[in-house]
Amino acid sequence: MTTLPAAQTAIAAKTPAADYAPPYASPRGLNDPHVRDLMAQCIHCGLCLPACPTYAVFHTEMDSPRGRIALIQAAADGRIGLAGGFQTHIDLCLGCRACETACPSGVQYGALLEAARATLAEETQPGPVGRFAGWLGLRQLMPHPKRLRLLARALRLYQVSGLQRAVRGLNFLPVRLRAMEGLLPPLPATYPDYRQPAPAVGQKRGEVALLTGCVQDAFLAGVNAATVRVLQRNGYEVHFPARQTCCGAAQLHQGDQELAQDLARRNVNACLELDYTAIISNAGGCGATLKQVDHLLADDPLYAERAKTFVGKLQDISEFLVDHLHQPPTGRLDLRVTYADSCHLRHGQKVVRPPRQLIQTIPGVELVELRQPEMCCGSAGVYNIVQPETAGDVLDAKLADIAGTKAQVVIATNTGCHMQLLYGVRQAGLRAEVLHLVELLDRSYAKAGPTP
């Protein structure tokens, strides 16, 4: 167990600023010539194996990044079919991209994985239940924030009526439904009104657009509310682009690149209506997907340049605040805290230092590093729903690491991770609270009182 600042020095040595936000391609499928080039970059050294959560669970070559690249090569060459073993091992990948950080050759494994999933989506058909679930979740719910809020309101009735306690006590649901129900956080009674901008507090320093997300807006509304207050406190007027939609991460994870591109266009349109100082994302996985929309729309003559402009303005909330913390938090919080990196924030966006730096600005907070901060918690988009057993094994390892820190608060920076850790901490009986980074900052601001 390592405490800062020694850990911060080590992180700085491993992750220079020049490595942030690397180029990331999004090829269409295994027949794309670019995919062949990406495969050839792998030198089969095996340094990715210790970084891979599924290799740690199964200890099989096919469930390591190196093994999956070999399978992708074999499928691209026609030496193996797509169904059966190939799909099984691709589906078992979390897509955490920790292997990219560990790789000495710079292999863009995430792009290879998306190519494999896109090809599987084109060439194989799920059963009727799978097709219906995909249609409902990826097309009818996630792109429509109002529908998700309605769903959340119905589920809140399920919670406050006492029915949730009964269902959890009986434990009769099928495994996937049980996984979905277990991830349900305490739901809000009311939601913020995003029809008008939130004014800056004190000196106005600019206007920013906040991407409120889909699942986070409906199920973790307090995170967005805290984000707004923290930005206001630092002098920013916060806008909520009315036509914004889902980031497309879950759609890409399931191989639906066409839908992901459509969502990308809608977000680009929504966020470029005004000339904002920055476009802010507060979810690591969403931000990682949105930072690649210039690649996703590179072949679209109407959107290629607009997508580059969008990406140029997009920042994770921690990236933005670490450079624009005009009013540092002064309220003392005597807490022992650990930070559970979002995989896509750490390995995809390469944002490692800023969240830690912000935590350290809060008086009284002791930040204790996990032994393996680079390892996934098992959320991985919808992975903890479609692969609940493996996700549970990965989560158990993360919870053991968290327990070793004896932290009172676990900090998250991604929607899926937040919900996964809430579930895991409750199941493990840990005496720790799970908060988003901005919620911790917001508490410090609140304790300090109003800005003079």
pLDDT per residue as tens digits for the range 157-175: 999 999 999 998 888 888 8
pLDDT per residue as tens digits for the range 259-303: 999 999 999 999 999 999 999 999 999 999 999 999 999 999 999
What is the arrangement of strands in the sheet containing 335-339, beginning at the earlier edge strand? 2-3, 365-369, 335-339, 409-412, 433-436
> To the nearest whole number, what is the mean pLDDT of the chain?
90
- Position 86 scores a pLDDT of 93
pLDDT surpasses 60 at 78: yes
pLDDT surpasses 80 at 16: no
Crossing angle between the packed helical segments 353-360 and 6-14, to the nearest 10 degrees: 160
- Range list for CATH 1.10.1060.10 in the chain: 22-123
Structure tokens at 288: 């990682």
Average pLDDT over every residue of 110-129: 85
pLDDT per residue as tens digits for the range 338-367: 999 999 999 999 999 999 999 999 999 999
Phi, psi of 315 (to 5 degrees): -140, 145
Average pLDDT over every residue of 83-103: 93
The CA distance from 362 to 195, in Å, is: 32
- Going by C-alpha positions, the residue among 199, 286, 296, 294 that lies closest to residue 246 is 286
High-pLDDT (> 70) share of the chain, %: 93
What is the arrangement of strands in the sheet containing 278-281, beginning at the earlier edge strand? 236-239, 206-211, 278-281, 314-316
- Range list for CATH 3.40.50 in the chain: 335-448
- Position 452 scores a pLDDT of 61
pLDDT band of 69, cuts 50, 70, 90 = very high
Query: Are 398 and 424 contacting, i.e. CB atoms less than 8 angstroms apart?
Result: yes
- Going by C-alpha positions, the residue among 166, 182, 162, 163 that lies closest to residue 174 is 182
The DSSP call for residue 370 is -
pLDDT surpasses 70 at 10: no
Question: According to CATH, what is the number of the domain 22-123?
Answer: 1.10.1060.10
pLDDT band of 2, cuts 50, 70, 90 = very low
pLDDT per residue as tens digits for the range 331-341: 999 999 999 99
The CA distance from 70 to 85, in Å, is: 13
pLDDT band of 17, cuts 50, 70, 90 = very low
Helix, coil or strand: residue 208 = strand
Helix and strand numbers (H, E) in the chain are 25, 9
Query: Are 306 and 283 contacting, i.e. CB atoms less than 8 angstroms apart?
Result: no
CATH class of 335-448: alpha beta
pLDDT per residue as tens digits for the range 25-46: 444 578 778 888 888 899 999 9
368: β partners: 3
What is the length of the chain?
452
User: Cβ contacts of residue 364 below 8 Å, gap of 6+?
Assistant: 332, 333, 334, 335
